[in-house]
Amino acid sequence: MNDRPSFTELAAFTAIARHRSFRAAADELEVSPSTLSHMMRGLEERLGLRLFNRTTRSVAATEAGTRLFASLAPLLAGLDEALADVRMLNERPNGTVRINSSARGNEVLLRRIIPEFHRRYPDVQLDLVTDQRWVNVIAEGFDIGVRLGEAVPQDMIAVPFGGDEHFITVASPDYLARRGTPAVPDDLARHDCIRFRLGSGKIYRWEFEYRGQELVMDVEGPITLGTMEQAIMAATNGLGIAFVIADLARPAIARGELVTLLDDWTPPFAGYHIYYPSRRLLPSGVRAFVDLVREIGRNA
């Protein structure tokens, strides 16, 4: 004979323990208080333990009931979440997905992910907020954040897209003709460097690596700008040496307006990632976006 309690009995027990009332639990479960009372008497008889102390005015869990409730409550909550997560598979993605990203991250999404997402899920609206500063996506009401891999918080789930990124050092031929060409990063101390200010207000430090040797530099220069596009423009006008994302500078390089420097010192690094706080109970639109990034993001 199987004396294992049924799911109905365990759900009824947790409702009574939570409300400390047979009547309130009966209202939640949409059954009569007498039905719950009969069910609990049967459960206690099979377990050989009293789970509740009852009076005409109150219901309180016994020591055994308290221990059982402490074990059951998270298990039943997890089951509810799992069932809700599965039900979402039948739901057509809809609603609004709020995404916080740097300007560059949004550009990569717009070029490589979002057109396909819009084609597949026309009922989902994407709200992309560009923000150069790092934000707490949970505290500020976003579903998804987008940052370089090194900037993703460790407690978040991260999914890469768009491949690796690559910073390069560039200058105009005219500037190099006047000032010479640096052979190693230390030579930058004798040059005008075009600095870039992050959204946080901090000046971006130039990072180099060669055969396992890493070097981080606080460069000096006559001008500090707020975007890499402006830094590229300043470099093409001969104002100095810039340290920028390779993709942004390629058009100017192709036109002969810029040349690359210190190529051996600028290897690629982990590119952009979307990140979010939990795999469970994601809204249908968010789940669809995450799944698409997993599908095509790395190769996009």
- Domain-wise residue ranges, the chain: 7-89, 92-164+270-296, 167-265
Q: Are 70 and 11 in contact (CB under 8 A)?
A: no
Both tokens assigned to 255: 């036109």
Q: What is the pTM of this model?
A: 0.58
Q: Is the pLDDT of residue 87 over 70?
A: no
**Domain boundaries 167-265, CATH class:** alpha beta
pLDDT, averaged across the chain: 87
- Mean pLDDT, range 58-64, rounded to an integer: 88
Question: Is the pLDDT assigned to residue 76 strictly greater than 70?
Answer: yes
Q: Which CATH number fits domain 7-89: 2.60.40.420, 3.40.630.10, 1.10.10.10, 3.10.580.10?
A: 1.10.10.10
Element (H, E) at 107: helix 103-112
Q: Mean pLDDT, to the nearest integer, of 73-93?
A: 73
Residues with Cβ within 8 Å of 78's Cβ and at least 6 positions away in sequence, in order, are: none
Architecture of 92-164+270-296 per CATH? 3-Layer(aba) Sandwich (3.40)
Span 194-203, mean pLDDT?
A: 82
Lowest mean pLDDT among 18-32, 87-101, 173-187: 87-101
Paired strand residues for 167: 245
Q: Which residue has the higher pLDDT, 282 or 72?
A: 72
Output the pLDDT for position 4: 80
Check: CB of residue 232 under 8 Å from CB of residue 242.
Answer: yes
pLDDT of residue 194: 95
- Tokens matching residue 204: 């971006």
**Residue-level pLDDT at 150:** 76
pLDDT surpassing 90 at residue 244: yes
